[in-house]
Amino acid sequence: MGLLVGVTVLWAFSFSLIGVYLAGQVDSYFAVLMRIGLAALVFLPFLRPSLLRGRQRIALMGLGAVQLGIMYLFFYQSFLLLSVPEVLLFTIFTPIYIALLDDALFGRFTPFYLLTASLAVLGAAVIRYQGLDSGFWTGFLVVQGANLCFALGQVGYRRLSSSLPDSLPRYSVFGWFYLGALAVALPVFALLGNAAAMPTTGVQWGVLLWLGLVASGLGYFLWNLGATRVDAGALAIMNNALVPAGLLVNLAIWNRDADLVRLGLGGAIILGSLVLNEWWLKRRDFRAA
């Protein structure tokens, strides 16, 4: 749990740094490529290819492509459509996606999730009851794409890690994760990147370096490692701990003029949908026991 708490504090600043210094100023595809490339540089010196079989390498690369590569493409685009607090609040659905993916793996379907998802959408509407437009709902859906990729990566890594020997140093193979993400980021930047929107200030380069080397390089390794050391319930709780931590940083430093009443009411509805979902899951598990 300590690893997840530490990364939560680390990532609390990332949302605001992206929204304030990069979104709309630096090409998002370049930012994604830089962040993943720098993270790869942290772990490639430790990579020992012989420690994994070919299928395991491909699986780890696939998880990196989804959890980091595709997720970042969604994530950075969302800041062009939404404010930082909105992006943060809409990430609260990740635990529900973790449960849905778990259902899918075991051939189940839970209609109750449709109710909690509908309540969460209502909360999203309250946050922006004025000025609701196609851009807002597009941003909402883009964040959900990022959430789904992040959830899939966590579930997948937990399963893959359980099949590896406990004695295997995870840092000696985690480079495959970033190589998989690079396999997504490189061609996307080549096709869609805007060379005219490169970083122009020392602050922007500094933010990219910090996000790449620290938030991504160390952050994703420690988060995935921590995810293998807790149960699914604790992992879901820590996924949502990112929301208040990131909001606290953003509202205290960068967004002091936010409509706190509307933000709080919408956030409470979204949180209520999650609490209802967790209550139902515990009730279901109790009955099954």
- Give the separation between CA 199 and CA 34, rounded to whole angstroms: 11
Read off the pLDDT of residues 77-108 as tens digits, 9 standing for 90 and up.
Answer: 999 998 888 888 788 778 778 777 766 766 66
Indicate the SS3 state at residue 198: coil
The whole-angstrom separation of Cα 220 and Cα 174 is: 10
pTM over 0.85: no
CA atoms of 147 and 127, how far apart (whole Å): 19
Q: What's the sign of the alpha-carbon dihedral 226, 231, 236, 240?
A: negative
Provide the domain limits for residue 228. 2-288
Buried b (16+ CB within 10 A) or exposed e, 217-241: bbbbbbbbbbbbebebeebbebbbb
Q: pLDDT, tens digit, for every residue of 49-80? A: 999 999 999 999 999 999 999 999 999 999 99
User: Would you write out the chain's pLDDT as a tens digit for each of its 289 residues?
Assistant: 788 889 988 898 898 899 889 988 999 999 999 999 999 999 999 999 999 999 999 999 999 999 999 999 999 999 999 888 888 878 877 877 877 776 676 666 667 766 776 676 677 667 655 565 677 889 999 999 999 999 999 888 988 998 999 889 999 999 999 999 999 999 999 999 998 899 999 999 999 999 999 999 999 999 999 988 876 656 766 776 777 777 778 777 876 566 777 777 877 887 787 778 778 777 877 777 6
Read off the amino acid at residue 210. Answer: W
Q: Which residues of 163-180 are buried (b: 16+ CB within 10 A; e: fewer)?
A: eeeeeeebeebbbbbbbb
- Cα–Cα distance, 186 to 225 (Å, whole number): 26
Task: Report whether 69 contacts 182 (CB < 8 A).
Answer: yes
Q: How many domains does the chain have?
A: 1
- DSSP class per residue in 127-168: HTSSS--HHHHHHHHHHHHHHHHHHHHHHHHHHHHHTS-TTS
> What is the spatial distance between Cα 42 and Cα 213, in angstroms, rounded to a whole number?
7
